């Protein structure tokens, strides 16, 4: 059983990059850790069932996540959750801490938040003794990462009425970009260019991890 997740959110302003920070921050968007974790609450129950075999024994085991969350820390993000595992009449609960990759792909204008590793040990009771079979990586059940759409194609027109009754039209678009993970926040910044001629925003190649 695989869990397919795809969540898209539109940021109206701000350009996102994997490892560059703009020299000037004309506009800033802050993504709160609490906002990301509302996604898990909206998804609801996350569970799975798989088969196992050990010597002459065969059966199935079930697992379910209890309070899954993404935690943001300076320069990295973690996935944490308790996992309840049931194997026949034997059940146990483990705390899991895993890795989350946050990266931006300029060609698709998407920010990806992906759980890359989060494992728990699969144990069974065999003739009254605890046996460890293997580790189950929860990341393989999160096939599709969370995706957030960036505003590389967003432009704005500002019209000014001048004292001589003429109008001045100013066009603005994102020029440089940056993203930084701090405690409990993702800070997205952008330098904006203001010109008096039309600008057609294009996706530019950005250095990113």
For the stretch 147-196, pLDDT in tens is 776 655 566 788 888 898 888 899 887 776 667 888 998 777 777 788 88
The answer to whether 16 and 179 are in contact (CB under 8 A) is: yes
pLDDT (tens digit per residue) in 88-106: 899 999 999 999 998 777 6
pLDDT tens per residue across span 37-83: 999 999 999 999 999 998 888 899 999 999 999 999 999 999 999 99
The rounded radius of gyration (Å) of the Cα atoms in the chain is: 23
pLDDT value of position 205: 46
pTM of the full predicted structure? 0.72
Residue 58: both structure tokens together: 């065969």
Average pLDDT, the chain: 79
What are the b/e assignments for 183-194, b being 16+ CB within 10 Å? eeebbbbbbbee
For residue 84, pLDDT beyond 70: yes
The reported pLDDT for the residue numbered 204 is 46
On the question of pLDDT at 203 being above 60, the answer is no
Most confident of 122-126, 142-146, 203-207: 122-126
Supply the DSSP symbol for 43: H
């Amino acid at each position: 059983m695989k869990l397919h997740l795809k969540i898209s959110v539109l940021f109206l302003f701000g350009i996102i990059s994997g490892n560059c920070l703009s020299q000037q921050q004309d506009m800033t968007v802050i993504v709160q850790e609490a906002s990301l974790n509302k996604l898990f609450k909206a998804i609801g129950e996350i569970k799975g069932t798989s088969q196992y075999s050990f010597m002459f024994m065969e059966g199935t085991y079930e697992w379910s996540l209890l309070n899954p969350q993404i935690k943001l820390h300076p320069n990295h993000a973690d996935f944490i959750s308790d996992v309840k595992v049931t194997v026949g009449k034997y059940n146990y609960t483990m705390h899991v801490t895993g890795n989350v990759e946050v990266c931006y792909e300029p060609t698709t204008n998407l920010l990806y938040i992906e759980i890359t590793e989060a494992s728990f040990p699969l144990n069974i009771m065999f003739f009254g003794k605890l046996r460890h079979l293997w580790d189950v990586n929860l990341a393989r059940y999160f096939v599709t990462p969370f995706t957030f759409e960036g505003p590389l194609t967003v432009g704005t027109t500002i019209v000014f009425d001048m004292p001589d009754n003429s109008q001045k039209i100013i066009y603005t678009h994102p020029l440089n970009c940056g993203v930084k993970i701090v405690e409990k926040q993702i800070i997205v910044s952008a330098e904006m260019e203001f010109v008096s001629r039309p600008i057609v925003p294009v996706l530019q190649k950005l250095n990113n991890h």
